[in-house]
Structure formats: structure tokens, C-alpha cells
Amino acid sequence: MDRRDEAVVSNRYARQTVLGEIGPEGQARLAAASVLVVGAGGLGCPVLQYLVGAGVGRVTLVDHDTVEVTNLHRQPLYRMSDIGRLKVEAARDTLQGFNPEVQIEARAERLTPQNTAALVATADLVVDAADSFAVTYMLSDACFAVAKPLVSASVIGLTGYAGAFCGGGPSYRAVFPDVSIDGGTCDTVGVLGSAVALMGSLQAHLALHLLLGFESSVLGRVVTFDAKKLAFGGFGFDGSSEPEASVPFIAPEAVRADDIVVDLRGLDEAPVSPFAGARRLVVDTIEQLEEPSGRVVLACRSGQRSLMAADKLRARGITNLALVALG
């Protein structure tokens, strides 16, 4: 390393270490920290840029998608030349280009019930940037079990939120035990790139706040944002009780031969179900399901429809349920 490189390294964090709240001790805490980031899309891009820029020592990045042209308006880690590449590899290359001090592990895989606990075990803090109900609940369950903080966010259209869960505070399920959202996705409703960038940046700030041990802790708080009205809101949920029972996500391979499987996807979306003998219903017709004699497994693409259908079945007193997100 020549003198110019040494000067770059020594000055890289000068503007944040000069803060009395950080200093050399805080910078050392960041360098020793390990963060798991699930999702390298619109939320993940600013999260990664600011965590890597701040000098977090190790980042494990999990995402199974490739770069598409529709990503580029809100995912500035990628260029036209990255289209078709795995996001984790393109993101790693870009991030290491501006901070080679940070160790970045790129894992091109989908988060599943099978690998969630092992991935969470590698990190001091987890960032949920996948914007998927299934991922959020899986990460929350795993983080709550081992008391690790989870920073989660979501943006649809022009509204979004970011919050800090688990880590000794209430889980995501304590705040949202039943999700009945009519909702769409970024594909159907749309999303403004600047709104996603703002919430992703807020996620990065919440993560750094926790890693640096600032007081008062952000655990147990949610910040909301309406990008059309330019209005921030939010609420505290510290002290919220955990639900007595919850419906778990399971891997497709964990579906048993005696399970009653309901595939909630339409025939136009999925002409053939991967589960032999699956019933084909939708959320609005789930009441047609007869009283089951065994476990009911609800399957859809992201987990959102499965959660909505589970709410309706639980209202009928049917509680032997499991959910599958098919991606």
C-alpha cells in the first residue's frame, strides 16, 4: 500500500469518527460487526451503500434474483451492463469498488425456512430488505428466538415504513400478528424510486443506531412515511405481547403426504401446482374449504395471500395450518 492509499484508508471515516457519539471506539464497533442483509433491491441498495460506507466489518448479502432493466430506476448499485447478472455478485463488485475494507459475502439463494436460522446465526444484526411477507415473518421468528435485532422495511406505491424488532424487544408478529392486506406489489401498484431510497436509508440509519449502541434504543419503534403528503409518522410498540399462536412458514419439501394443500394462485398464474392433489382456491373462496381432518397448507407466490387466507380460516376455528411461499 503506497502513501496515497494509506491516506485514503486513514481518512475514509473521518467525517463520522469526529462525531462525539462515535469516535474511534464507535468506529471499532462497526468494524467488528457482522450484518445479514436479505434483499439487494430498492431497499437493499441504500442499506448496503451506507452500511459498507460506514465501515461495517462484514456483510452477508442474500438474494436470488438477477438484475432487470425495470430495477434500474430505483436500484443505483446496478448499471445497464449488469442486466442478467446475479444481483448479489453485481452489488458485491460495486460495493468493494468503493470500500475494499469491508468483507462482503454474496449468497445467491432464496431465504427459506431451512436456511434462515443458520444465516441469522452468522450476524450481530439482520436487515430485512426483501419486501416480502414470508421473508419478514421467517426472519422475525428466527431473530426473536435468539434475541437478535431485526430492522425491517416495506414500500408500496408512495407509502412505507421502517422499524426495529426483536433483539430483546417485541417481534414483528407482536405488532402484526394477523396480516389482512388487500395489497399489491411493486409490479402491480408501482413504486417511486426516491421513496424506496428514503426508507432504505432509514433502515441503514436504524441499523447503525443499534450497532453503535446509541440511546435511546430504536428497538420497539416504527417510522412511517407518506411520500405524497411528505408526512412522517410512526408509533412505539415496546411492551407489546407476543401472540399465543402463529402460523409458521415451511419449506415445500416439508409438505407431508397427508396434508391438505390449497394452492391460492390462479390457473393463469400457475397452470400446474407442484403439489399433487392440491385444491385450487383463492382468498375470496377459501371459506369453501370443508372442515379439515389434518393440517392445511396454504401456498402462494410471496406468502401474502397465504397469510390472508390463514386469517379467514383461523376465524373459523381452523388452527392446524402452515404456509408455503413458492417464489
Provide the pLDDT for residue 245.
81
Query: Do the beta carbons of residue 210 and residue 149 sit within 8 Å?
Result: yes
Can you say whether the dihedral through the CA atoms of 303, 304, 306, 311 is positive or negative? positive
Q: Is the pLDDT of residue 101 over 70?
A: yes
Average pLDDT (261-284) is 93
- Catalytic annotation, pick one of 45, 166, 186, 300: 186
pLDDT band for 179, please (50, 70, 90 cuts): low
What is the average pLDDT across 295-310? 91
Alpha-carbon distance 59 to 199, whole Å? 19
Q: What is the pLDDT of residues 142-164, one digit of tens each?
A: 999 999 999 999 998 889 999 99
186 a catalytic residue: yes
Q: What's the rounded Cα separation, in Å, for the pair 257 and 272?
A: 18
Predicted pLDDT at 157: 84
